[in-house]
Amino acid sequence: MQTLSYQGLKVSKFLKTKTLDSLVVEAPLQININKEAYTVVMRTPNNDLELIRGLLYAEDIYKNSSSLKMSLEKEQDNIPQIINVSIPTKFLGKGYLNKRTLLSVSSCGICGKKELKDIKVNGDKLTEENLFSSREIHEMFIQMTQNQPTFKDSGGSHAAAIFNKNYELLTIKEDIGRHNAVDKTIGDLLNKKKLKEANFLLVSGRVSYEIVSKAFIAKIPVIIAVSACSSLAVDFAKEFGICLIGFTRNGKMTIYSNSSYLKKN
């Protein structure tokens, strides 16, 4: 269930009419690790297992290639409220020590971080360059747009899509939160053991530093956004060797870092 119908009063000049709108669902999901509460994520219910897998991967809590054992602890109206993840202690990453103790809302990338140093991401700069043209970028966006049923129904969800080097769609997910949508796509590819094929990450909204860090951890060298990019996102992209593109719409786009990825002709 990704949308619900709500009644509203539509006002247009001097006319008032009752309307029934589809609204994207936003509901809390508590994630437990080994029966202990880890974080609460505000998300759109669907692909919860992929969301958890992608989030724990990005947070350096579980990066083992084996599947995760998850169990539903509580639900209401067929919507999961608490899911427990069982992880052997020897497989718990360093990120587990930096637990999120605060509510992680759907639009916040750093909620729950304890200290400023916790937002830093370490790793070797991405060096692989795969050239592309603006035409190929816009064709991928058309594919993503055609696969957003929740947005078409409600107008209130974000989407993230991942393509391979041949511009083939590997996965696309929707959520009320931009970061959640990215986690869902990465989690989906982890479960399918296809993350190494990821080359382009497309997002329907703006790009913050955390989306860049998620792409970097997943070794995705190109991020393409329909909207703006933050200053820190650009700084991180330059440091990480990621090609970051914003304002991709109406046949135009702005490349903020590593423009050498773009074909000359």
Higher pLDDT, 127 or 150: 150
d(CA 87, CA 201): 28
Would you state the pLDDT for residue 167?
Answer: 95
Q: Which residues are catalytic?
A: 108
pLDDT tens, residue by residue, 156-170 = 999 999 999 999 999
Per-residue pLDDT for 11 more than 60? yes
Kindly state the average pLDDT of the residues 174-203. Answer: 97
What was the pLDDT predicted at 108?
Answer: 55
* Mean predicted confidence (pLDDT) in 253-258: 92
Categorize the per-residue pLDDT at 102 as very low, low, confident or very high, splitting at 50, 70 and 90.
Answer: very low
pTM of the model: 0.89
Instruction: Please state, for a pLDDT cut of 70, what percent of the chain lies above it.
Output: 88
Contact 243, 237 (CB under 8 A): yes
Q: In this predicted structure, what is the pLDDT of residue 22?
A: 93
> pLDDT-derived band of residue 61, with 50, 70 and 90 as boundaries?
very high
Sequence ranges of the chain with CATH classification 3.40.140.10 = 134-261
> How much is the mean pLDDT over the chain?
89
Q: Is 250 annotated in some ligand binding site?
A: yes
Architecture of domain 134-261: 3-Layer(aba) Sandwich (3.40)
CA-to-CA separations, 187 to 125, 150, 194, 243, 245, in angstroms, rounded: 22, 19, 10, 22, 23
User: What mean pLDDT is predicted for residues 239-244?
Assistant: 93
In this predicted structure, the answer to whether residue 62 has a pLDDT above a threshold of 50 is: yes
Task: Return the pLDDT at 240.
Answer: 92
Question: If pLDDT is split at 50, 70 and 90, which confidence band does 265 have?
Answer: low
Beta strands in 87-133 (DSSP E): 103-104
Whether residue 120 has pLDDT greater than 70: no
- In the chain, % of residues over pLDDT 90: 72
Looking at the predicted structure, is the pLDDT value of residue 115 above 70? no
Establish whether 247 is an annotated binding residue.
Answer: yes
List the alpha helices (DSSP H) in 127-174: 134-145, 149-154
DSSP E strands in the chain: the ranges are 3-12, 15-24, 27-33, 36-43, 69-76, 79-86, 103-104, 158-163, 169-175, 200-203, 222-225, 243-249, 252-257
**Residue type at 139 in one-letter notation:** E
pLDDT at 27 over 80: yes
Distance CA 190, CA 110 (A): 23
